[in-house]
Amino acid sequence: MACGNRGQDILHGRTCSAAHAVAKLQWEEIVNIKPLLAGALLASTTVVPAMAQANTDIVVVLGEELDLVDPCMATRSNIGRVIMQNISETLTELDVRGDAGLMPRLAESWEDLGDGTWQFKLREGATFSDGSAFDANDVKHSFDRVFSDQLTCESARYFADTDLTFEVLDDATINVTAEPAQPILPLLMSLVTIVPSETPMEFVRDPIGTGPYVMSEWTAGQQIVLDRRDDYWGEQPAVTKATYLFRSEPAVRAGMVAAGEADIAPLITPEVADNRNLDFAYANSETVYLRIDSQDAPTDDIRVRQALNAAIDREAFIGTVLPEGTELAVAITPPTTLGWNPDLTPPAFDPERARQLLAEAQADGVDTSLPIEIIARTGNFANVTEVAEAITQMLTDVGFNASLRMVEVAEHEQFYSKPYPESEGTRLILAQHDNSRGDPVFSMFFKYASEGTQSGVADPELDEMIANASAATGDDRAALWSEVFAYVQEQIVADVLLFHMVGISRVSERLDFTPTIATNAQLQLSEIGFK
């Protein structure tokens, strides 16, 4: 479903041969960006002291720091780049570099027993970093923890309204029953990291996992250090130590790699992607959107939601603050997703229609003067502040009482997931959603179902459509998801879909590593080699 190991091919304009490749970027398209922000970014560059490092140690410089390091939060991208498959592993793993599909990890094999039950045969001989042995009880506890009401774990959201029951047959065998039956349950297993059964029902600061690395240091706001385990059950990775630093400015991150002070800077901006030998562009799995809460006034009126969509000039962002190759979004998932609906088109930029829709709503008694507050997360993606400011101005220009609040990741989560704080008027949440796994089930329930943890929609017909598509298989599944996409956009106007993103990462020439669609959600150190 991705371009496999062909990020460099995309960057240099050669077509990906993988079946699901969705982007081809010319180098000239990446570097020939209108320099609207380049001066400001470069002016903010500061000198960072050089860091001593062994030949097999690496430094990764991220755009935002971590507020949590708990494995059950590893599906959140900024946490996943450190935790996922490095400290903590999953039962299964989706191959996004090649065509291997769903691969074993802590589960060696799995079998559909029928009636919603799958049997997983677990890897024997794997141990956690604290020396304890991995077994089926750890699997059960990890899922109990994810779904515990004592925690708000990110990975729980992907299981929609599916109830899971676990039967431990022996240390190496566990049956998992889904109600309703979930035909892609083994794929869902790739989202839950496994922790020891002794892990408490609270967020931890010292994550213990079966992965090839152990967290040896976390200095909040400064750095995280992972050291390679000598007793890892699998093949030893080439990277012996990874130090994660946090710098908000893309120019600073890119400059650190160029100066040899860091090895990888994920997600730099096109303005600073000026080095053909170091910068890699690739189609990523992120979709940028504004979540609308259709239960609040004035956005409980569909004409107001249509006006929000008509007010935004999406094309103006591409080639300016967003790189060439960025696509206009027509769904919350990227075009690589099962059931992609080719008949959907982005909303047209039509400020006059936006004003007319607001006037019609106001004439019918809708108070269109109520405040609309955009909540955006600093460091969420390259140039997020500039994008948010421009959108706020566009909404203001057509008559919305719009304002912008930029917040850090921990505060953003308070608005992004239920229960939502009350407000006068409504809030639009500017966010990115990642789906690199190819099936809408990883998105549609928690984004759009009435009980979804990040949904602004309450529509019984849509709830039924999502449930039916989730339970279907084969061609029927694809067709039903296609209908869901159309209903969400055309009948409900559930949100303001904006962009399918392109990623640009800077990688040191000493590394043998090519970023892929997975780099937004995780940075697996075992995939990194040295030249």
Q: What is the DSSP letter of 214?
A: E
Other CB atoms within a 10 A radius of the CB of residue 299 amount to 23
pLDDT below 50 — which residues of the chain? Answer: 1-52
CB 10, CB 24: distance < 8 Å: yes
Q: What is the DSSP letter of 422?
A: P
CA atoms of 377 and 410, how far apart (whole Å): 9
- SS3 for 293-360 is CCCCCCCCCHHHHHHHHHCCCHHHHECCCECCCCEECCCCCCCCCCCCCCCCCCCCCCHHHHHHHHHH
Residue closest to 499 by CA, chosen among 347, 373, 394, 372:
347
The CATH fold of domain 284-501: Dipeptide-binding Protein; domain 3 (3.10.105)
CB 294, CB 458: distance < 8 Å: yes
Q: What is the DSSP letter of 488?
A: I
> Would you state the structure tokens that stand for residue 513, as one six-digit string?
């590593």
Yes or no: domain 7-87+207-282+503-530 corresponds to CATH 3.90.1150.10: no
Q: Where do the structural domains in the chain lie, given as residue ranges?
A: 7-87+207-282+503-530, 92-191, 284-501
CA angle 483, 486, 487 (to 5 degrees): 85
* The listed CATH number (3.30.365.10, 2.40.110.10, 3.90.76.10, 3.90.550.10) that belongs to domain 92-191: 3.90.76.10
The pLDDT value given to residue 77: 86
